[in-house]
Amino acid sequence: MAQVAPPPTLDFSINAEQVEQITNDIIAAELAINDAVASLKPEERTYENIVTRLVRAENELAGKAQLVSSLSQISPDAAVREASVAAETKYDQFSIEQSMRHDLYVVISDYMAKTDLDTLAYEDARFLRRLERSYRRNGLHLPEDKRNELKEIRKQLSEKCIEFNKNWARESSTVKFTKDELEGLDDDFLGGLKTVEEDGVTKYVLTMKYPDVRPVLKLCKNENTRKVHATAYESRNKENIVLLEEAVKLRRKAAKILGYDSHAAYVLEIKMAKEVDAVNKFLNDLTDKLHEPGLKEIDELKELKKAEKAERGEEYDGQLNAWDTSYYQRILLEKEYSVDQELIKQYFSLEATIQKMLEIYEKVLGLKFVKVPADKAVVWHPDVQLYECWDAVEDKSFSGYMYLDLFPRDNKYPHAACFPLQPSYIDENGERVAPIAAMVANFTKPTADKPSLLKHDEVVTLFHELGHVMHHLCSRTKLARFHGTSVEGDFVEAPSQMLENWCYDPKSLKYLTAHFKTGEPISDEIIDRIVKAKNVDAAMHNLRQLFFGIYDMTLHTSEDENLDTSKLYNDLRKKISLVAAPEGTYGQAAFGHLMGGYDAGYYGYMWSKVFSSDMYFSKFEIDTLSPEVGYSYRKEILEKGSSRDGMDLLKAFLGREPSSDAFMREDIGIAN
């Protein structure tokens, strides 16, 4: 039955006191349910008294908790951000307490032991099995002293992670350069920067945010400027080193108490990969295969550097430094492939690209997007846009809300990500509660005479993060717990990574583009160059990703209580990525994944790429805009959320076991 009007949107006018009150209300409601279940006598331990109560509470409270915690990263109000951090800390501590409740564990274990779970609805049975597994992983089968020790470790860990991420989001260091030192950067870029006067000289102030760092590292002809900016960028958040090292020790200690060999072994138990050996073999095999191709790519860039230095009358140091890679890769693309990102971005104005991108998603996934007028949209900042999403294939019902928060501002989340604000679920009246998700990014702001223009890699980022939003909007699960991107951590990126391929499909690229002045689509010749350049320096790019994955796994399998995380980071970076970090830097202090839920999980980006390549090249490559294949993908992958295991979803969509052939051939350039 089609819904005639969408439900109310979220209220972003809430102040700091309300953030605190909402958090207190969530905690009180959850505590009341848990207390009630924990006090059930054996004869009272029924489906209605246990499963129905717990599921309803989780369904109804999950969205409120997600909203409150997201405000720390997106709210323009400092008091609200502080309240959100405090609320997240308080709720995390409460959740740790509740997840360690032995009285709840006893009641639920007793109920499960007396119940044939196969007689329950599938998601309900899965809910109980997951609950029992989480209790075991929290050590509730252990003696009380060990349980209390674990509880304390978890609280300390939560505090370290929240503090790390707060520091990371609020990092505000700057570097200053004269106009001459910023040789190669255009007036558009310089015009968007703050300036200061020092000793009668105008200097431009640059931050460590992507819209400042990336153009300097790609375009600035002055090597020392690139070196200074790159070194500052890799030296931010020094205060986070101790937080990371303390977290690694706490994770190791908790894993040992629970009987696991390492924190990585603990984490991987519930991932697709399952075991440390499987991940290490995957990472090391790829590293070995890409080592020689990586050295060749570096030699090619060194030759470009040598030639440019001779041309400029500057000394060549014989090295490809960390601050050189983006710069000479850009020159290589321009010289060998005639890929000029400054030209290409003129065809990708942000507003038009989003509109075309949504039209592709509409066609492929069977959806319909309607932009809510600015004067009707309730948002947290004037830059934020709101869209309604409707089903266009089945019952024409409301699918959910999507917010787009795309431009940088002070104290906002510094990268690109999808923020779930409300999971979908089926309420007690049998009605679907629609999901709400936000895409947050930091693209260049439009000016009075020019729209925001995207480089091709930013178009890929946009497609990718919108892919996560689609996972939320298309999700159709009974329980909030299984909604959207709640899939295994090493599968969660696969649906979005697969959608990146549309950015290299000639037909889709043509459709996406329109010159911001003339409206003309991009030429077939430039499209051909973009597609051919896709895997240029693929070995170097993938070796860098492998370095992050191997560093993460090494940290979380190490037995060394006094591990120097900076030395390990810099040693592995040089050995694996083949490019040394700037001297004296400590990039791990701003490696947010390690403290943001990807610990012992960074490998998942490449692991899931295997599946994304298999899905795209076996199903979509022939016709990327096929509504039939797209609808099958929506039904078999996106709708299911984590209500089925990732491997089962893949097999259902592919009609077979997944294979790494497409990944090795298309993304790495090595035939199996």
Active-site residue numbers?
465
Shortest CA distance to 300 belongs to which of 527, 525, 539?
539
Residue 418 is inside which H or E element, if any?
A: strand 417-422
SS3 197: strand
Distance CA 264, CA 276 (A): 7
Q: Which residue type, as a one-letter code, is found at position 163?
A: E
Q: How far is CA 71 from CA 11, 26, 86, in A?
A: 12, 16, 11
Q: Which residue type, as a one-letter code, is found at position 368?
A: K
Question: Helices (DSSP H) in 475-537: which residue ranges?
Answer: 494-499, 506-512, 524-532
Distance of CA 82 to the CA centre of its chain: 23
> Do β-strands 417-422 and 174-177 pair in parallel, antiparallel, or remain unpaired?
unpaired
The tokens of 481 are what? Answer: 């717990």
Long-range CB contacts for residues 484-488, cutoff 8 Å, separation at least 24: 484/420, 484/423, 484/424, 484/435, 484/437, 484/641, 485/418, 485/420, 485/641, 486/423, 486/641, 486/642, 487/641, 487/642, 487/646, 487/649, 488/270, 488/271, 488/272, 488/642, 488/645, 488/646
Distance CA 129, CA 596 (A): 26
Q: How far is CA 309 from CA 295, 323, 479, in A?
A: 21, 15, 61
Total residue count of the chain as it appears in this document: 672
Which residues in 134-159 are b (16+ Cβ under 10 Å) and which e?
ebebbbbebeeeebebbbebbbbbbb
> Do β-strands 201-207 and 174-177 pair in parallel, antiparallel, or remain unpaired?
antiparallel
Distance CA 497, CA 502 (A): 10
Q: What angle do CA 208, 210, 212 make, to 5 degrees?
A: 65
Distance CA 316, CA 310 (A): 8
**C-alpha Rg value of the chain to the nearest Å:** 25
Distance CA 522, CA 101 (A): 60
Cβ pair 357, 512 in contact under 8 A: yes
The tokens of 539 are what? Answer: 């070995």
